[in-house]
Structure 1
């Protein structure tokens, strides 16, 4: 599903990724860990095609995420740590997602309700003005409704209360088959029941890769 081969990414004289190689296959749930500046975000952005590598390559289902970005992103759901400053209201956002990514609006509503987010009561509220928890619930609902075979969560539970976290874990358990789930997290205890692999990065390198 994801093959990373000898990937190096530099920003000026700073080496953010230093000859990284690893593979993520279906039915793997991976915790990607490491201190700030370890290279985790650069690795994720390379997978998403945001960055051109200095050397090495990333392949998503055999495709380059830079050269074939539109096709690659059709198969990836990504929930960032900081929700984007979207000015659309929820109804407009769901309509946009439905058209641009061929996602069923009713499925977004279903998963939102499962996350205890009342879509109908908030339909015409600006996404930008929602609370952090509400934004996170909606983005999680969209990520599940998209039916991607690769789902990437960057600190997915940061804005969720304990009950919402339980709902999130339950929904992931129901939707993990035949997928790659990748969690960028500082809190292993929050995803330990979901993961079967743990990768630790430091100074742009993978320093440990343990299957659980």
Structure 2
């Protein structure tokens, strides 16, 4: 469970989150929407423990994501909108993920193959030098292989072609039980068959929070 209580985050005089209260629970698949500057990314980074709040708190399964960050991140997979500048080869990256997060390398390769990423052909290529679509496929494969009970995707299909988007959503539907899936998205039409909750933010506040019928 993710609990956000009276959360306020300011950057200088700008209020990015304005006394936000919201909970996300197991078996909820949420579309988090809103215009640029609404506070969506700040909320996600607060959940991940990247930002210290000015007031209020975030709890992940009862744990503080800042003070108990290692324990919290063990249960979260996160795919950012912009892939990080990782200089490791794909083989080195998988070895690192396997050692640091106890994620099965063969399972990463399985999901990469399901995403039509030819990982064997690119094993020794630097992640940094891959195309945007290939990077996104690799990060999605890692997120699914980790088997986290909280998965957060920030515009996950931005660099994917239509076929890869179909593969991504097919894999999610196969793996959606007993977890929280949180999509930061401008593409409600894409996720409407997966999500059962739609949250809309603007100006640092929750404007609407609607349960929708499960598909």
Please classify the TM superposition score into its range, dividing by the shorter chain length.
over 0.9
Give the superposition deviation at 1:190.
1.1
Give the superposition deviation at 1:26.
0.5
Give the superposition deviation at 1:131.
0.6
2:81 paired with 1:81: yes
Question: Which runs of structure 1 show a deviation greater than 3 angstroms over 4 or more consecutive aligned residues?
Answer: none
Pairing 1:190-209 to 2, within 5 Å after superposition: 190-209=190-209
Query: Within 1, Cα distance between the matches of 2:193 and 2:133?
Result: 22
Q: Please state whether the residue corresponding to 1:45 is helix, strand or coil.
A: helix
| Equivalent position of 1:129 in the other structure | 129
| Equivalent position of 2:185 in the other structure | 185
Q: Please state whether the residue corresponding to 2:173 is helix, strand or coil.
A: helix
Q: For each residue in 1:139-158, what CA deviation from the matched residue of structure 2 results, as whole angstroms up to 9, or x when unmatched?
A: 00000000100000000000
Q: Please state whether the residue corresponding to 2:206 is helix, strand or coil.
A: strand
| Equivalent position of 1:147 in the other structure | 147
Q: Please state whether the residue corresponding to 1:121 is helix, strand or coil.
A: coil
Give the superposition deviation at 1:169.
0.4
Q: For each residue in 1:79-137, what CA deviation from the matched residue of structure 2 results, as whole angstroms up to 9, or x when unmatched?
A: 00000000000000000011111100000000000001111110000000001110000
Query: Within 2, Cα distance between the matches of 1:68 and 1:175?
Result: 27
Give the superposition deviation at 1:15.
0.5
Query: Within 2, Cα distance between the matches of 1:101 and 1:116?
Result: 24
Give the superposition deviation at 1:187.
1.2
2:129 paired with 1:90: no
Q: What is the aligned length?
A: 212
The CA RMSD measured in Å over matched residues stands at 0.4
2:9 paired with 1:9: yes
Q: For each residue in 1:151-178, what CA deviation from the matched residue of structure 2 results, as whole angstroms up to 9, or x when unmatched?
A: 0000000011111111100100011000
Q: Please state whether the residue corresponding to 2:120 is helix, strand or coil.
A: helix
Query: Within 2, Cα distance between the matches of 1:44 and 1:91?
Result: 29
Q: Please state whether the residue corresponding to 1:122 is helix, strand or coil.
A: coil
Query: Within 1, Cα distance between the matches of 2:133 and 2:36?
Result: 23
| Equivalent position of 1:162 in the other structure | 162
Give the superposition deviation at 1:3.
0.5
2:69 paired with 1:56: no
| Equivalent position of 2:38 in the other structure | 38
Q: Please state whether the residue corresponding to 1:31 is helix, strand or coil.
A: strand
Give the superposition deviation at 1:63.
0.1
| Structure 2 residue runs without a partner (length 5+) | none
